[in-house]
Amino acid sequence: MKQEEYLHSLLHPASNDVRELEKYAKEHNVPIMEPLGIEFLMQLLRVHRPNNILEIGAAIGYSALRMVEALPESQIVTVERDEKRYEEAKQNIRLFGKEKQIHLLAGDALHIKEQIEAYGPFDFLFIDAAKGKYEDFFHLYSPLVSEHGIIVSDNVLFKGYVADPSKAPERLEKMVSKIIKFNQLLNEHPDYNTTIVPIGDGVAITTRKS
């Protein structure tokens, strides 16, 4: 699409280290944010300037490292349940020299709330883990977000299947259905305002109602 190509042409070149991470992710099928999505997230952080960030879903540490790039003084707690990905994230955070800013926790975010809660409250919550569990993550961790904090959820349009579920492969139908349900929850929640931005794979921005 011409518009997307144009936006990609405006992106600032990433550092060699970041490009290596992106290359590794592509070669090993590691899900990371799309270029326009991560740029949007970084700009959102620059505007909001949160001090304490919680990320659900570290993968190989890519988005946490990009968030610190946007806000070098911020503190990030990021959680990863997959042992291999956790070790890769740990190594990448060390290679980038960001161990003081990024606190990597091993485990399923649905099971280690007490451990995560010790680092809170948070000014910014980024949900980018198992898509079928987004609603659970939201219910569990939104109370840890400060009054004027922001909650961002990635992949909420999921390759266009959310807008047209009939085109989703059978193996993805259940997950797509859960994302649709999650989007509906955000849209109708009495305590929150949500806007879905059709950039990257779809980014939901949620704030508390005043």
Q: List binding-site positions for S-adenosyl-L-methionine.
A: 33, 63, 80, 108-109, 128
Question: Residues forming the annotated binding site for Mg(2+)?
Answer: 128, 154-155
Q: How far is CA 140 from CA 17, 135, 199, in A?
A: 34, 9, 26
Nearest to 39 by CA among 207, 203, 206, 210: 203
Question: Residues forming the annotated binding site?
Answer: 33, 63, 80, 108-109, 128, 154-155
CB 40 within 8 A of CB 199: yes
List CB contacts of 180: < 8 A, sequence separation 6 or more.
Answer: 162, 165
Q: Tell me the sheet residues that pair with 150.
A: 124, 207
Spatial separation of the C-alpha atoms in residues 166 and 116, rounded to whole Å: 38
- Which element (helix H / strand E) includes 125? strand 122-127
Cis peptide before 121 (omega within 30 of 0): yes
Render the burial of 158-177: b for 16+ CB within 10 Å, e for the rest.
beebbeeeeebeeebeebbe
